[in-house]
Amino acid sequence: MVQLSDVQSSSKYVLEDFECRDYHVSILTLIIDLTESLISRYCCVIVSLHPGPTDTDMSKPFQKSMSKKYEFQPAEVNVRKMMSIISSLQLEDSGSFLDYERQVIPF
C-alpha cells in the first residue's frame, strides 16, 4: 500500500512551519498510526511516497517561488518514477517515507 504525501508531512517541516503546525502534526500522526496498525495486522509493504515536484495546474502558482533546485516534471514522468520505486519495495521498507529518488524522508 502506498500513501502519496508531500514533504510537508515530514516532522522537519512541522518544526519549521508554525502556521500549519496543527495540520502537519495531525497528518503525521494519522500516517504513523495507520502504518503501524496495518503492518502489525497484515504482512504487507506500506510506505508513504513523495511524488516529486510535479508540473500541474495546481502547482503552477507555487513554481515561481520554489527554489531553482526543484525541476518540475510532467505527471507522466513522476508516475514512472513512482512505479519503479513501488515495484522494488520490500517488506523491510514498510513504515518508510520515501522521496521520488527513493531517499528516506524523516517522519
pLDDT at 6: 64
- As a whole number, mean pLDDT of residues 46-59 equals 85
- As a whole number, mean pLDDT of residues 3-16 equals 59
What Cα–Cα distance (Å) separates residue 98 from each residue in 61, 83, 95, 107? Answer: 25, 13, 10, 10
pTM over 0.85: no
- Which value, in Å, is the radius of gyration of the alpha carbons in the chain? 15
Domains of the chain, residue spans: 2-98
Give the distance, in angstroms, between the CA of residue 47 and the centroid of all CA atoms in the same chain. 9
Of residues 88, 75, 69, the one with CA closest to residue 2: 88
Pure H helices in 9-99: 11-16, 21-41, 60-63, 75-87
Reply yes or no on whether the pLDDT at 46 is more than 90.
no
Of residues 41, 57, 54, 58, the one with CA closest to residue 99: 54
